[in-house]
Structure 1
Amino acid sequence: MKRLSLAICIGMAVSGMTAQEWKIPVSENEEPMATGRFTPEWESLQEYEVPEWFRNAKFGIWAHWGPQCVEGSGDWMAREMYMEGNGKYEYHRKHYGHQSEFGFKDILPLFKAENWNPEELVRFYKETVGAQYFFALGNHHDNFDLWDSKYQEWNSMRIGPHKDILDGWAKAAKKAGLPFGISFHADHAWTWYEPSRRFDLKGDKIGVKYDGWLTKEDGYRPNADGTEKWWKGLDPQKLYAQSHDFSDNTWDNGSIHRQWGWENGAALPTQAYVTNFYNRTLDAINRYNPDLIYFDVTVLPFYPVSDAGMKIAAHMYNKGLQGKDDRAKTKNVVFGKILTDSQKKALVWDVERGAPNKIMEQPWQCCNCLGNWHYNNGVYQNGKYKNAATVAKLLVDIVSKNGNMLLSVPLRADGTPDEKEIAILKEFGEWMRINKESIIGTRPWKIFGEGPIANSDIKINAQGFNDGQYTKAGADEIRFTQTDKHIYATALAWPANRKMTIRSLAKGSELYPEKISKIELLGYGKVKFERTADAMTVYLPEKNTNSIMPVIRIRRF
């Protein structure tokens, strides 16, 4: 997460690309791509139609959880622990030892998931919070597979919890009747882990290389006290993936953001590395049959240097085909970031921590987080979580623009949310229980909203990162959704004067010239209103019916 890549995919972003044109063509020798209606070319993938179940779902929850939660220092811990002077570096060295002696590989056995109860958590997310789909982390940039992986020996069955995490999540989602998603992030370990080959530039360990240099042979050399290394027989390079030349400006901590699309001097991966990621991803898809897959990348994995990502997308779509005719629709969803307009027809556009300020023609998704992407003790201790009102107003704004929201709820290393997260989710869930008819199964109205923020020109920063603008929304911000029978209008806070003013529904408005005979406040009932040439004013009851914001329902006929 949190990249600021400005990759521009030229040529290949517009036209299809044949296999011989790719710099690093993936091998299908071990995991053949599923064949069917879709082929790994843009012309074919653009025949994709977003399934109705996803358009109706609107809200999902994501367990963005793995071994980087052990130290509780937040997202990208496995990279930043190798950046001298960084807070994560200092915390790791103080509590675990120098990075040459105790690296991220040594954190993995400490990831126990000892209190993890996937069935209980998924049931809570669905029944109490209102989630309509559920996502699990398959692997992160730390390159550790959270399942019994055929192609990665550094996995959760062999090390740490000795559990197939994806299997547990998949079974829990199926039992709850929720569509299941998996996110894959390990393709970027190639450049992301480059700091693991650094060394201190000051202090008592100047020049001592970190453990990203280690090889399988090093595991057979006894420790200083004569004992065997715990990782004997494992190859650290299959975790760190550092048997390659450095990227340009590798000591510049910010360069990875500029190189995220494999440009600006990023060290290009080998075919073996690309194929390994492809094999691992297809292995997980074929085992756990996800309905959705997510990549934390520009467009698709290894795009535009390899066809691996396009083959994964075609495989996923073909796996989800419902029917055998040439026009059969797929039930599956594949997300991509920083997409061109034509690519948004082939993939569902994902916006990280943000939203466009208009209704999008194609359905899209915002991925956001209650706190940090990986569990962060500082966020917990300092009360930095998004509150329930913020989560709700972000959701309402996103849905009004034809989007879904995927909310990450960080779990501690033991597999549990903390009590502050639970309280926030319960409060939000209570709002959803009363008002979900204005969210689930709706579509955008003629305009998404009105108010100072709605009328502003708010830009997306790279793949998102503008959600702070929307958290400031107050009672003067109105958002609209609709069904065949109703229009819903939500004020993004309770107005202090008990009057909900909606200018778009003024008497004689071109947006809604029809007569309005009845308005109801969800969770309350019929309320008084009046329409003038300036606005429609809805008179709300003296006591708030929920702790967050009001939603009114207007019957269309």
Structure 2
Amino acid sequence: MRKIFVAFALISGLFSRVSAQEQGVHPQSQNYEWPADEQVLEKLDQWQDLKFGLIIHWGLYAVPGIIESWELCSEDWLNRPDSMTYCGYKEWYWGLKDDFNPLNFNPEQWAQAAENAGMKYLVFTTKHHDGFNLFDTQQTDYKVTNGPFANHPKANVAEHVFSAFRDKGFMIGAYFSKPDWHSQDFWWDKYATPNRNVNYDIRKFPERWDRFKQFTYSQISELMHDYGSIDILWLDGGWVRPRETVNEEVISWGAPIPDWDQKIDMPEIAVMAREAQPGILIVDRTVHGPYENYQTPEHRIPAEQLPYPWESCLTLGNNWGFVPNEHYKAPAKIIHNLVEIVAKGGSLLLGVGPKPDGTLDSEAVARLAEIGKWLKANGEAIYNTRITKNYHSGNVFFTKGKAGNLYALALVDEGQPVPATVEWSGALPKKGSKIRLLATGQHLNWKVKDGKVQVNVPSSFREKHADYPALAFSFEQ
């Protein structure tokens, strides 16, 4: 029956993928608190140099090719198949553990594709909200090492993913969902599950919630102690938070909020994590304060430049995880997003979901390679840069190198030819200085007219590059 339903899901597309992605986003906090720990500040500065990362959502949801975890939730923006009861759906979904058998699991392919894309850091989902663990946790049997994949030499998936990316010099991030919908201490079968929150009154059953807090602490401790060097603890599920952090801003997001506290003792988790991994960045998403070391706006780019660390979480396709017949964004679109994000002070965390067999889709790999080709020629204007006061002039964005040199990145609309002249205002080169085209190293002719810089793009470059997503220039101010 399960296999029949999986096939039906793949053929009919009966899940509300796009709308679910929009409704399940984590809005961005409006407050930021700089870390006090010098080691954390140092790691944060290193992370801010990287600019471009990969987030991998992979799990049971890849088998039928549906939205990650969310269909288990009973909120009104979701659309499960009419032919199934809610309890029947949950039974079917939990049972996908018996079908998750990625015999072609190839984390080295993932790491190579990410390196080819010019990415520098990884965030990997060790556990999503559905509670299925992609690491060999000792706290539950609901894990990849307890099923058809258990005897595979790479059954402890997270270990091998982290190792493959670490071998490429990536900064390593462990995604971990604070809510766990499979746990009887979060979603207790005694009660219905009306929404994403814990489904019983914690005030009436404090011992049950204490067990869940210990469960969460122990799982994170395993990740911190047993999986090598970890640079980022990326915590999802921002509705699991101290009640005192629920302010008007949080209420305005529209997510259901219970009357009771859902805190999981982040101070204790942070102390433990930083004893095991000194300087680790903790990203307790949307829970502003000392444990949100950088912010994570999702499916959006902030309207203005921000003076503190952040990353935009976007997808290469329309979904975080794998879905069949995905529509991937053009490489030029991702490059334009990256340029704008970096000029506004952020980093781009791009989502790509592996297929159920454990490999990346060939089209996704090809598009990542195209992004990397541009970054190989122009990455000087992206990596190791910081913001400038005037961050853009029309479709020209500015970044600044640590040595003080400035970069101008002119976006070229998809399908349009490279312009013969690029102009901007607000960031004038020093008189007599040279403007260099990063893609070729050439020094270009330029002038200032009516308060605007005008740079001539060589005809040889324009003839060779009929379709080029962005031009990057280096100059002194």
Question: Do they fold alike, i.e. is TM over 0.5?
Answer: yes
1:457-477 Cα distance to aligned partner (Å, 9 max, x none): xxxxxxxxxxxxxxxxxxxx1
1:401-458 Cα distance to aligned partner (Å, 9 max, x none): 221111111111111121221221111111111111111111112222122xxxxxxx
Question: Equivalent of 1:444, from 384, 387, 392?
Answer: 387
Letter in 2 for 1:118: P
Distance 1:110 1:526 in 2: 58
Q: CA deviation at 1:546?
A: 7.7
Q: SS in structure 1 opposite 2:67?
A: coil
**What corresponds to 1:490 in structure 2?**
409
Matches within 5 A, 1:386-425: 386-425=329-368
The answer as to 2:69 corresponding to 1:76 is yes
Q: CA deviation at 1:110?
A: 0.8
How many pairs were matched up? 422
Letter in 1 for 2:454: T
Letter in 2 for 1:488: Y
1:61–1:133 contact (8 Å) kept in structure 2: yes
1:109–1:161 contact (8 Å) kept in structure 2: no
**What corresponds to 1:432 in structure 2?**
375
**What corresponds to 2:97 in structure 1?**
108
Distance 1:521 1:486 in 2: 14
1:226-261 Cα distance to aligned partner (Å, 9 max, x none): xxxxxxxxxxx55983235446xx2xxxx54xx69x
Q: 1:339 to 1:102 in 2, by over 3 A?
A: closer
Greater alpha carbon shift after TM alignment, 69-78 vs 113-122: 69-78
**What corresponds to 2:422 in structure 1?**
500
Question: Equivalent of 1:310, from 241, 245, 267?
Answer: 267
Letter in 2 for 1:358: E
Q: SS in structure 2 opposite 1:351?
A: coil
1:59–1:406 contact (8 Å) kept in structure 2: yes
Matches within 5 A, 1:259-338: 270-288=209-227, 289-298=229-238, 305=261, 306-321=263-278, 330=279, 332-338=280-286
1:368–1:406 contact (8 Å) kept in structure 2: yes
Letter in 1 for 2:118: G
Q: 1:480 to 1:76 in 2, by over 3 A?
A: same
2:285–2:296 contact (8 Å) kept in structure 1: yes
Q: CA deviation at 1:344?
A: 6.7
Q: 1:169 to 1:421 in 2, by over 3 A?
A: same
1:301–1:309 contact (8 Å) kept in structure 2: no
Question: Equivalent of 1:357, from 281, 303, 307?
Answer: 303
Distance 2:42 2:218 in 1: 26
1:521–1:550 contact (8 Å) kept in structure 2: no
1:78–1:142 contact (8 Å) kept in structure 2: no
Q: CA deviation at 1:54?
A: 0.7
Matches within 5 A, 1:464-543: 477-483=395-401, 484-493=403-412, 496=417, 497-505=419-427, 514-524=430-440, 525-541=442-458, 542-543=462-463
Distance 1:47 1:175 in 2: 23
The answer as to 2:145 corresponding to 1:157 is yes
Distance 1:125 1:68 in 2: 22
Give the TM-score of the pair, scaled to structure 2: 0.77
Alignment root-mean-square deviation, CA: 3.7
The answer as to 2:63 corresponding to 1:63 is no
Q: CA deviation at 1:319?
A: 2.9
**What corresponds to 2:13 in structure 1?**
none
Q: CA deviation at 1:399?
A: 1.1
Distance 1:298 1:83 in 2: 16
Q: 1:101 to 1:244 in 2, by over 3 A?
A: closer
Distance 1:529 1:335 in 2: 44
1:529–1:536 contact (8 Å) kept in structure 2: yes
Q: 1:546 to 1:526 in 2, by over 3 A?
A: farther
Distance 1:520 1:355 in 2: 29
Distance 2:90 2:221 in 1: 35
Q: CA deviation at 1:307?
A: 4.5
**What corresponds to 2:24 in structure 1?**
3
Give the TM-score of the pair, scaled to structure 1: 0.67
Distance 1:400 1:278 in 2: 37
Q: 1:83 to 1:505 in 2, by over 3 A?
A: closer
1:499-520 Cα distance to aligned partner (Å, 9 max, x none): 21212235xxxxx6x3253112
Q: 1:296 to 1:86 in 2, by over 3 A?
A: closer
Q: SS in structure 2 opposite 1:536?
A: strand
1:463-498 Cα distance to aligned partner (Å, 9 max, x none): xxxxxxxxxxxxxx1111111152111112256543
In structure 2, stretches of 5+ residues that fail to align are: 1-20, 246-260
Q: 1:276 to 1:348 in 2, by over 3 A?
A: same
1:499–1:540 contact (8 Å) kept in structure 2: yes
Q: 1:78 to 1:158 in 2, by over 3 A?
A: farther
1:111–1:161 contact (8 Å) kept in structure 2: yes
Q: SS in structure 2 opposite 1:434?
A: helix
2:446–2:456 contact (8 Å) kept in structure 1: yes
Letter in 2 for 1:156: V
Q: SS in structure 2 opposite 1:61?
A: strand
Q: CA deviation at 1:65?
A: 0.9
The answer as to 2:118 corresponding to 1:179 is no
**What corresponds to 2:320 in structure 1?**
373
Q: 1:8 to 1:270 in 2, by over 3 A?
A: farther
The answer as to 2:467 corresponding to 1:550 is no
Q: CA deviation at 1:295?
A: 1.3
Distance 1:481 1:276 in 2: 44
**What corresponds to 1:167 in structure 2?**
159
Q: CA deviation at 1:98?
A: 8.9
**What corresponds to 1:125 in structure 2?**
114
Distance 2:387 2:372 in 1: 22
Q: CA deviation at 1:544?
A: 5.8
Q: CA deviation at 1:46?
A: 10
1:62–1:135 contact (8 Å) kept in structure 2: yes
